[in-house]
Amino acid sequence: MYIGDFKEAYASDQAVFVNTTSRFWLGVLFVLLLIFPFVAGDYFLFMANLAGIAIIGAVGLNILTGFAGQISLGHAAFIGVGGYTAAILATRFNLPFLLCLPLSGFMAAFFGIIVGGPSLRLKGLYLCIATLAAQLILEFVFVHWESVTGGIRGINVSSPEIFGFVLDNDFKFYFLTLVMVIICVTAARNLFRTRVGRAFIAIRDRDISAELMGINLMQYKLYAFGISSFFAGISGCLWVNFLKTVTPEHFPLMESVRYLAMIIVGGMGSILGSIFGAIFMTIVPEMIKTILGLLVNIFPTAMSFLFPLQQVIFGLLIVGFLIFEPHGLAEIWYRIKNYFHLWPFDH
Amino acid sequence: MDIFLQLIVSGFLVGGIYALIALGFVLIYKATNIINFATGEFMMIGAYIFYSLMVYLKLSPFIGVPLVIICAALLGVLVERLILRHMLGQPNISIIMVTIGLSSILLGVAEVIWGSEFRSFPPLFPRKPIIIGEIVLRSNLFYGFLLALVVVAVFMLLFKYAKIGVAMRATANDQMAAFSMGINVKTMFTISWAFGAIAASLGGIIIANIGGVQPTLGHIGLKIFPIVILGGLDSIIGAVVGGFIVGIVENLAGGYLDPIFHGGVKDLAPFVVLILILLIKPYGLFGTKEIERL
Amino acid sequence: MNILSIDDVSLAFGGLKVLSDVSFDVNEGEIFAIIGPNGAGKTSILNIISGFYRPEKGRVFFKGKDISHLAADKRAAQGMGRTFQNIALYHGMSVLDNIKLGAHTHLKTGLFSGLWYWGAAHREEIKLREKIEEDIIDFLEIESIRKKPVSALAYGLQKRVELARALAMRPKVLLMDEPVAGMNAEETEDMARFILDIKEEHNITIVLIEHDMKMIMDISDRVLVLNFGQALTQGTPGDVQKHPEVIKAYLGQKKA
């Protein structure tokens, strides 16, 4: 508990980590993240990479949906665009990984703006339906444009190489993922300290009066859409390079729903929530798999329920959190933190 | 020319059935302003329940259909009471996402109960194909269309003349005014969801009768979005006209373009149409543009 | 000097005629009130000036230029501030962020400088904070609620925060829609005092819709009376009060 937390300059008052204590714990977290790969087993290393890649995608979606209030059902498709771009640039054009990465982002952003652009003039509902159409159209393209995407077989890529280091196992890849997560999370958090982020929130809360305050709705919705798709593209590039392959079945509508679940469960309009949600929704499918695996002894066909059970649980999580805890895990976290800040006092 | 006419007519027929499912969506939207992403899943569950009644309980369709209507109504009521009631007053995007979650739940539950394999329906109608001039039409498409038309007509008459229909329209138009006229708005919501579920379920039975049933039947339900955007979200006429147009367009696209692209174009075409409509006439043919108050 | 000119404006929604041939001028530095019964079209006039509605007929001039075809967000950038009848604060942000949002058009941070933040964006934010603290937060006496989420504030304070946000727009003209609606006598006096201070210290022209007659008569320089979308009369508060049509519109006619 701390009392008497005075700030003497506006800069320190507006900082993200306002006092020494939180900066200390941030440092501890960083050290733990660095030590993690050395002590974790293969399985957890694999999961950590997946979670990190999901965090980047979730932060992107949260910027568009949680902060700017525009629902997107096409996030998985844009991740796919990033993934395919990365694969094609690496295998067809032999571009170095560090070039593929931002290009994947830009390609996804480009697609995002094309598809969403015209609908941005309208209310968010129409954008939502347009993103659904984009998702389905892109799914079709992934499967049928065989000359470019390799169709159902997809494309295989080799391990990425950065400055001579070949990231050929999960351990090495972890550090790339960690760096990218830190960059993306920081950039996103920065955005909301500026007028761009504020404009997004204004558009979500009351778009008409936002316009009368001088915000060009079309421009800022395009920004939100572009940034969100860019993050999706980055996430896709990392994913494809991690799994060393890209196929159409990685980017179905259900995956877009899983990303929506991430930000709903984690907390819409919260960067921290995106992190919680991404980790949570990466672990949940694994937990279901594990539980079903244990049940196989009693019910031999248990594993066939994996896919539908995932769908039921995703749906229940979405509905449950929206009804009971609309601000997600992030809110629960803040409640716990506040309790300890004020302890032993009640309020 | 033969093929062209064939495609158009069968597209028209299937469009009529789509119109019934789209009606299920519009009924709910008109009364409650809620976009129901789970419309397709309502459709799929209706088809599965009917299938189970026919195949496992060996009931006749004349008992089966009313039972499905009751079950669908129950489903609609449950969804409204248990889930949507709690979301009153929440921002629109939250409510939309709840229905997305709902569709996921229903999809998963259906697969858990009935498995993921494809099942074909026992025949409901006489098998002889209907021949009109040079055009050959499958009987379950033809009779299914007629049935759908009847149901749509019943709903439209209900809306226009029956007391409950008028009450629902009043609630859709202005909740406050309806409230002050003594209409129980909450009950109207529940009834709208019941009706919406019924319409979608009946449409589901008819569709499944043509093409069989599997959990992904709900994906056909996604086609209602091009239909209702084309027709106008809050227009019943729009749902019908939109249904016909989408049915014809997808048939033509499928007939002529599927061979080139090795399949899949038929299902995609409505969504390309959707994007085009959003560019040109976003409120659709019959939709009303909302005037915002500040 | 006319800072704002409404020229022969008409507006209709379908068959509903909201405004018919309304014309008036607002002089720079004055407090100009628009009054009239509910439904007379007052908010619609403000919405036309702001650019939210487009009139069927007529033009709007601002600082001598015809802005009738200028988009709403550009009008804000030109110096048109606005507060709303039903408070339009952003519940997802704190008081301070809401006020900062008002200054949106005066800031330069773009997408890329925002993502990077350290450097130009940071400096801009600090400068903005300083300006808001000195000019607005001190002035409106809202220091204690800076960091609070706006949804937690009492109604009167929310109205004041909305005014703060409008001031952050550095407006030349401030359009206020019922700024003291629902306030008690003390809160109304506070708000009236702020409005007068805004006019005098910052030389901002104010166009004001209100129902509180005492306040209108106390602080306005000139008044326009609207009834059923038409301008009944305009003039000083004293003149308007005595005008027989105005009395008839508000109080009805004496039974003969």
Find, in chain B, the residue whose alpha carbon is nearest to that of C45. B294
Residue B253 in tokens: 């696209």
If asked whether residues C181 and C107 sit together in one domain, one would say: no
Q: Which of C149, C168, C187 is the last residue of a domain?
A: C168
List residues of A whose CB lies inside 8 A of any C CB. 10-11, 14, 187-188, 190-191, 193-199, 201-202, 204-206, 208-217, 223, 226-227, 269
Residue B281 in tokens: 């006439």
If asked whether residues C70 and C126 sit together in one domain, one would say: no
Distance between A319 CA and the closest CA of chain B, angstroms: 5
Domain with A141, as residue range(s), is: 17-253
Find, in chain A, the residue whose alpha carbon is nearest to that of B224. A129
Contact B294 C43 (CB under 8 A): yes
Q: How many CB pairs lie under 8 A apart between chains B and C?
A: 7
If asked whether residues C104 and C160 sit together in one domain, one would say: yes
Distance between B294 CA and the closest CA of chain C, angstroms: 8
Other C-beta atoms within 10 Å of B186: how many?
Answer: 14
C86 is a domain residue = no
Please provide the average confidence, as pLDDT, over all residues in chain A. 89
Nearest to C90 among A193, A206, A227 (CB): A206
Q: How far apart are the first and last CA of chain C?
A: 45
Phi-psi region of A159 (alpha: psi -120 to 50; beta: other; left: phi over 0): beta
Report the side by side order of strands in the sheet with C222-227.
C80-83, C173-177, C205-209, C31-35, C222-227, C230-235
Q: What was the pLDDT predicted at A347?
A: 60
Asked if A86 and A104 touch (Cβ cutoff 8 Å), the reply is: yes
Res B291 pLDDT > 70 = no
A191 is a domain residue = yes
Residue A120 in tokens: 């941005």
If asked whether residues C189 and C161 sit together in one domain, one would say: no
CB-CB neighbors (< 8 A) of A254 in chain B: 104
If asked whether residues C104 and C119 sit together in one domain, one would say: yes
If asked whether residues C255 and C179 sit together in one domain, one would say: yes
If asked whether residues C250 and C175 sit together in one domain, one would say: yes
Res A118 pLDDT > 80 = no
pTM of the model: 0.90
pLDDT tens digits along B124-137: 888 888 888 878 88
Other C-beta atoms within 10 Å of B280: how many?
Answer: 8
C123 is a domain residue = yes
pLDDT tens digits along A14-67: 777 777 778 888 899 999 999 999 998 889 999 999 999 999 999 999 999 999
CB-CB neighbors (< 8 A) of C52 in chain B: 294
pLDDT tens digits along B177-209: 887 888 888 888 899 999 999 999 999 999 998
If asked whether residues C43 and C154 sit together in one domain, one would say: no
Res B6 pLDDT > 90 = no
pLDDT tens digits along A152-198: 888 998 888 888 888 888 999 999 999 999 999 999 999 999 999 99
Measured CA to CA, the distance from residue A69 to residue A60 in angstroms comes to 13
Q: Which chains touch B (3 or more CB pairs under 8 A)?
A: A, C
Res A346 pLDDT > 70 = no
C152 is a domain residue = yes
**Rounded percentage of chain A residues whose pLDDT exceeds 70:** 97
C84 is a domain residue = no
Q: Which of C130, C147, C168 is the last residue of a domain?
A: C168
pLDDT tens digits along A291-300: 888 888 888 7
A27 is a domain residue = yes
Q: What was the pLDDT predicted at B290?
A: 64
C46 is a domain residue = yes
Res B293 pLDDT > 60 = no
Distance between C241 CA and the closest CA of chain A, angstroms: 33
A31 is a domain residue = yes
Contact C111 A223 (CB under 8 A): yes
Q: Which of C168, C199, C221 is the last residue of a domain?
A: C168
Q: What was the pLDDT predicted at B174?
A: 75
Nearest to A315 among B102, B115, B290 (CB): B102
If asked whether residues C189 and C117 sit together in one domain, one would say: no
Instruction: Please provide residue C81's backbone torsions phi and psi, each rounded to the nearest 5 degrees.
Output: -95, 165
Domain count along chain C? 2
C88 is a domain residue = no
Q: Give residue for tokens 């196989």.
A: A296
User: What single-letter amino acid sits at A132?
Assistant: L
If asked whether residues C54 and C108 sit together in one domain, one would say: no
Helix (H) or strand (E) holding A166: strand A165-166
Among A52, A75, A77, residue whose Cα is nearest residue A62:
A75
List residues of B whose CB lies inside 8 A of any C CB. 291, 294
Q: Which chains touch C (3 or more CB pairs under 8 A)?
A: A, B
CA-CA-CA-CA torsion for A12, A16, A22, A26, nearest 10 degrees?
A: -130
* Cα separations in angstroms, A128 against A237, A249, A317, C149: 24, 22, 20, 29
Domain with C18, as residue range(s), is: 1-79+171-256
> Which candidate in B37, B104, B107, B109 is best for mutational testing of the A interface (most A CBs within 10 A)?
B104
Contact A144 B262 (CB under 8 A): yes
Nearest to C72 among A204, A212, A227 (CB): A212
If asked whether residues C12 and C75 sit together in one domain, one would say: yes
pLDDT tens digits along C8-41: 999 998 888 899 999 999 999 999 999 988 888 8
A201 or C256, which is more confident:
A201
If asked whether residues C75 and C109 sit together in one domain, one would say: no
C199 contact A CB<8A? no
Over residues B74-99, the mean pLDDT reads 88
Domain count along chain A? 1
Contact C121 A14 (CB under 8 A): no
* CATH number for C27: 3.40.50.300
Asked if C142 and C164 touch (Cβ cutoff 8 Å), the reply is: yes
Distance between C240 CA and the closest CA of chain A, angstroms: 31
Nearest to A190 among C76, C84, C114 (CB): C114
**Number of alpha helices (DSSP H) and beta strands (DSSP E) in chain B:** 12, 2
Contact C47 B291 (CB under 8 A): no
CB-CB neighbors (< 8 A) of A204 in chain C: 92
Distance between B42 CA and the closest CA of chain A, angstroms: 15
Measured CA to CA, the distance from residue C106 to residue C109 in angstroms comes to 10
CB-CB neighbors (< 8 A) of C91 in chain B: none
A310 contact B CB<8A? yes
C87 is a domain residue = no
